[in-house]
Amino acid sequence: MVALIPVLFLVLAASMLVVSQVSSFFQFGRYSNKRREDRAEIERFMAQLASAQSTVARRKKELEKLSQNLAKSNEQLEGLNSMKSKFLSMAVHDVRTPLASIKGFGEMLSRQPLEGTQKKYVDYIVRGTDQINRLMSDLTDLAVIEAGKLRLEKKEFFLPEMVSDIVPAIRVIADKKGVKLVAPEAEELPRIPVIGDRFRLVQALMNFLNNGVKFTPPGGTVELKISVIGRRVTLAVKDTGPGIHPAERERVFEKFYQSKHATATDQKKGWGLGLAIAQEIIRGHSGDIGVDSPGLGKGATFWYRIPMKPPRPAVRSTAQAAA
Report yes or no on 243 lying in a domain.
yes
Residue 89 scores a pLDDT above 90? no
Q: How many CA atoms lie within 13 A of 208 on its CB side?
A: 30
Residue 22 scores a pLDDT above 60? no
Q: What per-residue confidence (pLDDT) applies to 29? A: 56
Q: What per-residue confidence (pLDDT) applies to 9? A: 58
d(CA 200, CA 301): 20
d(CA 214, CA 177): 9
* φ, ψ (nearest 5 deg) of residue 54: -65, -40
Which of the residue ranges 56-60, 68-72, 209-213, 259-263 would you say has the lowest mean pLDDT?
Answer: 259-263
Encode pLDDT of 225-277 as tens digits.
Answer: 999 888 899 999 999 999 988 888 888 888 888 777 665 555 556 677 889 99
Q: What per-residue confidence (pLDDT) applies to 288? A: 94
Cα–Cα distances in Å, from 117 out to 103, 120, 121, 246, 321? 18, 5, 6, 43, 79
Give me the helices (H) in 111-151, please: 116-146
141 lies in the same domain as 175: no
Q: What CATH number should be reported for the domain holding residue 36?
A: 1.10.287.130
Neighbours of 7 (CB within 10 A): 9
Boundary residue ending a domain (115, 149, 183): 149
Q: What per-residue confidence (pLDDT) applies to 316? A: 56
66 lies in the same domain as 168: no
Q: What is the residue-wise DSSP string for 97-121?
A: HHHHHHHHHHHHHHTS---HHHHHH
Range among 74-88, 127-141, 142-156, 178-192 with highest mean pLDDT value: 178-192
Which of the residue ranges 43-47, 194-198, 239-243 would you say has the lowest mean pLDDT?
Answer: 43-47
23 lies in the same domain as 60: yes
Residue type, 120: K
Q: What CATH number should be reported for the domain holding residue 294?
A: 3.30.565.10
23 lies in the same domain as 71: yes
184 lies in the same domain as 253: yes
Decide: pTM greater than 0.75: no
Encode pLDDT of 138-188 as tens digits.
Answer: 777 777 777 777 888 889 989 888 888 888 889 988 998 999 999 988 888
168 lies in the same domain as 137: no
Q: Which domain holds residue 258?
A: 155-307
Letter string b/e over residues 253-264, b meaning 16 or more CB atoms within 10 A of that residue's CB:
bebeeebeebee
Residue 31 scores a pLDDT above 70? no
SS3 68: helix
